[in-house]
Amino acid sequence: MGQKIRFGGTIDQVDTGMNFAVWLANANVTPLADPVGVRTAPPEWQGLGISLERTRCYGFCPAYRVTVYGNGLLVWEGDWFVQTPGVHMTTASEDQIRQLVAAVEATDYFNWKDRYDEQSITDLPSALTAITLGGKRHSIYHYHGDQNAPAALKTLEDQIDTILGTQQWIGPQ
């Protein structure tokens, strides 16, 4: 119970009746080691989660999501025009998490609106941030063509990228 496994095989038959079932030929199960060395989050970072998602545009905008948790788990989900597609896990350092928390605390993030989506300029990407910190949770959808969004929001989005080093997965532009 709780052991991470990789399960595979060749689909032999699919029953889509009342109880959906898939029969596998040559089924195999491989126990997996924990791929990242996460640590116990200090009390002030219990429940911490900071996520940045960048969306597609009508061009070559990289689309991805990066999420970091208080225990150091960092999850990269590369989608479009990125060097590293798919889901990958690694660990953020305590210093990176400290920098992220300081960046959020230096803003008025939890008092900003939920959406900045006025399309005074079209065809631009969006960013979605979701932050849980100190018992507070807030998420913001930010269309980059909305001229009314706080400048500090775009700065925070860029800081998340810089601090977590997402350029290593995005690749050269």
* Residue 38 is assigned to a structural domain of this protein: no
* Residue 99 is assigned to a structural domain of this protein: yes
Report residue 132 as tokens: 């849980």
Tally of domains within the chain: 2
Same domain, 95 and 23: no
Same domain, 131 and 163: yes
Residue ranges of alpha helices (H) inside the chain are 94-105, 151-164, 167-170
* Residue 6 is assigned to a structural domain of this protein: yes
Same domain, 4 and 61: no
Same domain, 25 and 70: no
pLDDT digits (tens, 9 = 90+) for 139-152: 999 999 999 999 99
Same domain, 54 and 8: no
Same domain, 77 and 7: no
- The per-residue b/e assignment along 42-80, b for 16 or more CB within 10 angstroms, e otherwise, is eeebeebebbbbbbebeeebbbbbbbbbbbbbbebbbee
pTM of the full structure: 0.80
Same domain, 132 and 93: yes
Same domain, 28 and 4: yes
Same domain, 20 and 79: no
Strands (E), 33-93: 49-54, 63-69, 73-80, 86-91
The contacts found for 28-33 with CB under 8 angstroms, 24 or more apart, are: 29/5, 30/5, 30/6, 31/3, 31/4, 31/5, 32/4, 32/5, 32/6, 33/4
Nearest-angstrom CA–CA distance, 123 and 125: 7
Give me the CATH number covering residue 160.
Answer: 3.30.1560.10
Per-residue pLDDT of the chain (173 residues), as tens digits, is 344 556 666 776 766 666 666 666 666 666 555 556 678 899 999 999 999 999 999 889 999 999 999 999 999 999 999 999 999 999 999 999 999 999 999 999 999 999 999 998 888 999 999 999 999 999 999 999 999 999 999 999 999 999 999 999 999 97
Same domain, 25 and 76: no
Same domain, 50 and 98: yes
Same domain, 153 and 75: yes
Task: Identify the domain containing residue 118 by its residue range.
Answer: 43-170
120 three-class SS: coil
Phi-psi region of 85 (alpha: psi -120 to 50; beta: other; left: phi over 0): beta
